[in-house]
């Protein structure tokens, strides 16, 4: 489809403006909740299914365990026994997600300290403090060692959900420290010969195996102004599985199967409801509330880091801000293009627009899902908003412009052409209107018909105004109706006559079409002659003067276009020598005619005579000098139809 330059320019301007507004809303954070909501949908419905863990084993402290122990915290005796049983099970590393910075009797705390100090596979936790809560230090014997990691988590603003993990963090007063999950994962990866490396391009970034864990930025994916302190990374749903586990009392009672912890990361932590160590994640499809215990969360993060380091999965990728802006602009451009394709309410109505919007939204959702499936978080809410808004604005502008053009077109033609021609004009308006929205002027071949009421002046002087206007209007209406029947276009009325064109406003290039226009013009003139007889009979019955009529027809090249200074005063007409000759044929007194015997005289030019062939009986009148014409014109009188 060929669009006018004005429409394209307006669409481009709309795209830029709407995209800028959408990007402004995104920068302000107005769209972020919707993007994150869609992210949750993707991780639940699109992301690869999690596989049973082969690297992590959980020792969970349940409410039943606490009741069996009879108290909490766990005593030094039970704590020491738990560690010894885990050591005997020979895991790769033991992570204890339980705060233990003070002795808890009964028991020999020195024995517990000795195990913590001597067993290099044990990793303890600490908690950073903040403005509202004091931190919790690790066991004193492990302070300053490489076997301590913080278990702080990053909470999103919506319902405190966890979608990101932490690798490193500091409290602003000391050195940067690793997370509990990272320490456990690195020790497990070392067993497989995988060690942390700096990224070759950006040394500050951590590389595990062949993958680099790019630090989370505040505007990654659908986020805006998110907390980016520390070294964060996006979590993957594939690591949130049902980890193999055993209860604390089951471990202490010797129920652990032989070899269950070999080559695994053992993590001890509480799942008891009374400890309220619960977080919410969007990754658990089997848990409608999304709740997960702290130890399960750390286990999933450890599993993800191991999977990344061993090349089983790749970190979730995101686009740069510039790329996301380009996507918004591109989808906005696509929406504008669809809006440009809206061809008026008749062919692209509200229902079609709704279907188009829904189809576009579904397509974007599918593209986003496909990208997510392959490890790329592509925010689609902002692009969808841009596309829908651009489509709506451009469609509204296009519809408004086309309504204006249609009104102009109908103002010019609707009363002067048949409904079929008017409808055909609208369907082909791109050919008819200029880029500026005005009907274009064109050279074309046409047959022009002039009619005149002979004796109008003499009768008009004797009739009252209302009677005169009724008399003339009856004549003009009848003749104009005949013009429409033959596919002509009434160009103008002037007192006692009118001008009609055949072959406009559509340019004719085929000789067959040109000849058909001439045939229709002469056929219309002959039909006017027959209509005149009926009209005179009616006039006589009403006591009105009967009339005679002169008709002139000439065919040839004309210039068709609109005259007028403003759109509401445009008049579509044809001009040129053909028009002058047709008018002179109608008005000439150089051809004798008995109007009493035949009230209608039809004179046609030699050019028209050649085009109509033998379809009409014509009387050649020879060369006639017409007023205002320097050369004589070969004239024929139409006698009858063949």
Exposed/middle/buried for residue 133 (C-beta within 10 Å: 0-12, 13-18, 19+)? exposed
Q: Would the pTM of this model clear 0.85, i.e. be above it?
A: no
- Nearest CA to 416 out of 491, 486, 478, 475 is that of 491
Q: How high is the pLDDT of residue 211?
A: 96
Q: How high is the pLDDT of residue 392?
A: 84
- Burial pattern 22-53, b for ≥16 Cβ within 10 A else e, equals bbebbeeeebbebbbebbbebbeebbeebeeb
Q: How high is the pLDDT of residue 131?
A: 65
Q: How high is the pLDDT of residue 562?
A: 78
pLDDT digits (tens, 9 = 90+) for 97-107: 999 989 999 98
Q: How high is the pLDDT of residue 463?
A: 85
Q: How high is the pLDDT of residue 442?
A: 84
Helix or strand (DSSP H, E) at 24? helix 5-27
Q: How high is the pLDDT of residue 570?
A: 66
Q: Reading across the β-sheet that carries 164-169, which strands appear in turn?
A: 177-178, 164-169, 231-234
> Average pLDDT for residues 547-557, to the nearest whole number?
95
CA-to-CA dists, residue 200 to 207, 230, 318, angstroms: 9, 21, 20
Q: How high is the pLDDT of residue 158?
A: 72
CA gyration radius, the chain = 45
Would you say 338 and 356 are in contact if contact means Cβ atoms under 8 Å apart? Answer: yes
What is the percent of the chain where pLDDT is above 90? 60
Instruction: State phi, psi for 55 to the nearest 5 degrees.
Output: -125, -15
DSSP assignment of 60-90? EE-HHHHHHHTSSSPPHHHHHHHHHHHHHT-
Would you say 221 and 377 are in contact if contact means Cβ atoms under 8 Å apart? Answer: yes
Task: Say if residue 3's pLDDT is above 90.
Answer: no
pLDDT digits (tens, 9 = 90+) for 167-219: 999 866 778 999 999 999 999 999 999 999 999 999 999 999 999 999 999 99
Cα 264 to the center of its chain, rounded Å: 49
> Average pLDDT for residues 21-33, to the nearest whole number?
93
Number of alpha carbons in the 13 Å side-chain half-sphere of residue 185: 24
Instruction: State phi, psi for 20 to the nearest 5 degrees.
Output: -65, -40
> Average pLDDT for residues 240-265, to the nearest whole number?
94
With vertex at residue 389, the alpha carbon angle to CA 388 and CA 391, rounded to the nearest 5 degrees, is 65
Alpha-carbon span 314 to 304, nearest angstrom: 9
Residue ranges of E strands in 5-78: 56-61
Residue with tokens 């008018």: 583
Q: How high is the pLDDT of residue 641?
A: 82
Alpha-carbon span 281 to 50, nearest angstrom: 14
DSSP single-letter state for residue 274: G
Secondary structure class of 108 (helix, strand, coil) = coil
55: region left, alpha or beta (phi > 0 left; psi from -120 to 50 alpha): alpha
pLDDT-derived band at 347 (thresholds 50, 70, 90) equals very low
Q: How high is the pLDDT of residue 454?
A: 87
CA-to-CA dists, residue 242 to 31, 283, 286, 348, angstroms: 33, 12, 10, 52
> Average pLDDT for residues 272-297, to the nearest whole number?
84
Alpha-carbon span 411 to 155, nearest angstrom: 65
What is the percent of the chain where pLDDT is above 70? 88
Alpha-carbon span 497 to 448, nearest angstrom: 13
DSSP single-letter state for residue 263: T
> Average pLDDT for residues 422-447, to the nearest whole number?
69
To 10 degrees, what angle do helices 5-27 and 321-340 make? Answer: 140
Q: What is the mean pLDDT of the chain?
A: 87
pLDDT digits (tens, 9 = 90+) for 505-533: 778 889 999 999 999 999 999 999 999 99
pLDDT digits (tens, 9 = 90+) for 435-445: 555 667 789 99
Residue 62's contacts (CB-CB under 8 Å, 6 or more residues apart) are: 247, 248, 271, 272
Task: Say if residue 552's pLDDT is above 60.
Answer: yes
Q: How high is the pLDDT of residue 8?
A: 81
Exposed/middle/buried for residue 635 (C-beta within 10 Å: 0-12, 13-18, 19+)? buried
Give the Cβ contact number of residue 505 at 10 Å: 25
Cα 575 to the center of its chain, rounded Å: 47
Q: Three-class SS string for 457-511?
A: HHHHCCCCHHHHHHHHHHHHHHHHHHHHHCCCEEEEEECCEEEEEECCCCCCCCH
> Average pLDDT for residues 557-568, to the nearest whole number?
74
Residue ranges of E strands in 221-337: 231-234, 245-247, 265-270, 278-280, 291-293, 317-318
Token pair recorded at residue 452: 């005149």
The residue count for the chain: 642
Q: How high is the pLDDT of residue 561?
A: 81
Number of alpha carbons in the 13 Å side-chain half-sphere of residue 178: 18
pLDDT digits (tens, 9 = 90+) for 570-591: 677 889 999 999 999 999 999 9
Token pair recorded at residue 576: 């040129």
Q: How high is the pLDDT of residue 564?
A: 67
Identify any residues that bridge with 561 across adjacent strands, giving them in sequence order: 573
Alpha-carbon span 233 to 216, nearest angstrom: 5
Identify any residues that bridge with 411 across adjacent strands, giving them in sequence order: none
> Average pLDDT for residues 338-362, to the nearest whole number?
68
Q: Three-class SS string for 568-629?
A: HHCEEEEECHHHHHHHHHHHCCCCCCCCCCCCEEEEEEHHHHHHHCCCEEEEEEEEECCCCC
Task: Say if residue 53's pLDDT is above 80.
Answer: no
Ranked by mean pLDDT, the top range of 110-124, 465-479, 488-502 is 110-124
DSSP single-letter state for residue 186: H
Alpha-carbon span 476 to 451, nearest angstrom: 10
DSSP assignment of 114-137? HHHHH-TTEEEEEB---SSS--B-
Q: How high is the pLDDT of residue 346?
A: 43
Helix or strand (DSSP H, E) at 388? helix 381-413
């Amino acid at each position: 489809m060929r669009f006018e330059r004005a429409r394209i320019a307006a669409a481009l301007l709309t795209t830029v403006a709407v995209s800028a507004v959408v990007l402004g809303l995104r920068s302000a954070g107005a769209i972020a909740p919707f993007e994150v909501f869609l992210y949750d949908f993707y991780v639940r419905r699109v992301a690869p299914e999690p596989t049973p863990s082969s690297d992590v084993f959980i020792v969970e402290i349940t409410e039943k365990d606490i009741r069996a122990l009879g108290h909490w915290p766990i005593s030094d005796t039970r704590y020491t026994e738990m560690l010894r049983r885990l050591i005997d099970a020979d895991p790769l590393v033991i992570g204890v997600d339980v705060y233990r910075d003070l002795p808890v009797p009964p028991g020999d705390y020195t024995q517990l300290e000795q195990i913590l100090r001597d067993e290099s596979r044990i990793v303890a936790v600490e908690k950073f403090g903040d403005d509202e809560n004091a931190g919790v230090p690790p066991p004193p014997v492990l302070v300053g060692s490489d076997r301590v990691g913080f278990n702080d988590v990053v909470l999103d603003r919506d319902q405190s959900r966890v979608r990101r993990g932490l690798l490193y963090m500091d409290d602003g007063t000391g050195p940067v420290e690793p997370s509990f999950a990272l320490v456990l994962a690195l020790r497990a990866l070392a067993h497989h010969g995988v060690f942390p490396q700096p990224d070759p391009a950006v040394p500050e970034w951590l590389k595990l195996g062949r993958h680099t864990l790019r630090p989370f930025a505040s505007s990654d994916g659908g986020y805006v102004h998110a907390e980016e302190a520390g070294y964060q990374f996006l979590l993957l749903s594939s690591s949130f599985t049902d980890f193999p586990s055993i209860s604390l009392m089951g471990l202490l009672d010797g129920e652990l199967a032989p070899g269950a912890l070999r080559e695994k990361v053992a993590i001890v932590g509480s799942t008891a409801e009374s400890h309220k160590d619960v977080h919410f994640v969007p990754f658990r499809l089997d848990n409608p509330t999304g709740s997960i215990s702290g130890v399960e969360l750390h286990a999933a993060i450890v599993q993800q880091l191991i999977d990344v380091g061993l090349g089983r999965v790749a970190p979730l990728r995101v686009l740069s801000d510039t790329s996301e802006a380009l996507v918004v602009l591109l989808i906005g451009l696509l929406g504008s293009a669809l809006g440009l394709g809206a061809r008026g309410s008749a062919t692209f109505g509200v229902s079609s627009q709704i279907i188009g919007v829904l189809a576009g939204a579904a397509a974007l959702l599918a593209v986003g899902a496909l990208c997510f499936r392959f490890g790329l978080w592509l925010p689609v809410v902002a692009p969808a908003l841009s596309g829908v808004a651009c489509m709506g604005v451009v469609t509204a502008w296009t519809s408004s412009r086309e309504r204006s053009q249609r009104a102009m077109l109908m103002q010019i033609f609707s009363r002067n052409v048949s409904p079929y021609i008017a409808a055909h004009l609208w369907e082909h308006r791109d050919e008819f209107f200029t880029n500026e929205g005005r009907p274009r002027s064109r050279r074309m071949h046409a047959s022009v018909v002039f009619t005149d009421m002979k004796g109008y002046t003499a009768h008009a002087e004797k009739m009252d105004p209302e009677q005169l206007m009724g008399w003339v209007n009856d004549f003009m209406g009848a003749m104009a109706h005949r013009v429409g029947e033959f596919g002509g276009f009434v160009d103008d009325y002037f007192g006692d006559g009118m001008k009609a064109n055949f072959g406009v406003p559509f340019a004719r290039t085929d000789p067959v079409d040109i000849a058909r226009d001439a045939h229709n013009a002469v056929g219309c003139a002959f039909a006017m002659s027959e209509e005149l007889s009926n009209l005179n009979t009616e006039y006589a019955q009403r006591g009105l003067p009967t009339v005679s009529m002169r008709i002139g027809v000439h065919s040839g090249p004309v210039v068709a276009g609109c005259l007028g200074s403003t759109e509401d005063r445009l008049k579509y007409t044809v001009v040129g020598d053909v028009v002058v000759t047709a008018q002179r044929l109608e008005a000439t007194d150089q051809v004798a005619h008995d109007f009493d015997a035949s009230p209608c005289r039809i004179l046609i030019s030699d050019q028209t005579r050649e085009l109509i062939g033998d379809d009409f009986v014509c009387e050649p009148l020879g060369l006639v000098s017409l007023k205002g014409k320097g050369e004589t014109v070969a004239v024929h009188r139409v006698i009858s139809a063949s």
